[in-house]
Amino acid sequence: MSNWLPVLVAVGILVSGAPVRANSVCKPALTVKEVTFSSPVNLRRYWTATVVADAAPCTSRSGLFALGFVRLAETAPDLSFVEPFIWHPGDNKVRVELWADEAIGEYWMADVALCACRED
């Protein structure tokens, strides 16, 4: 037990010395709009959308987010997957490439990374 005492004291000093604020993290508000699906060209199709980022609560000017999808295919089972993207304030164009016999059955905002809050 005595071997752990210096480690516990060091951890206690580190933890107690770090300031903690209740509202120190925020999230930008992301909205998906203008979804389109292209016709097949060279055996490929593209699902595209505009993701609008309201980053007013954040100090950062960009961050990560992920969209989840269910891919439908004529010759395969449905497949759920997640694609990562980067947001910037305002409109962000995103695109997912598919084969000609595939389509997106549904999509959702899977994750939005936290950002540091603006102190206005």
Tell me, yes or no, whether 95 lies in a domain. yes
- Per the structure, how many domains does the chain have? 1
Two tokens, residue 40: 């097949």
pLDDT digits (tens, 9 = 90+) for 44-76: 999 999 999 999 999 999 999 999 999 999 999
Tell me, yes or no, whether 8 lies in a domain. no
How far apart are the C-alpha atoms of 5 and 51, rounded to whole Å?
A: 52
CATH of the domain at 46: 2.60.40
Q: Does residue 112 sit in helix, strand or coil? A: strand
pLDDT digits (tens, 9 = 90+) for 68-92: 999 999 999 999 999 999 999 999 9
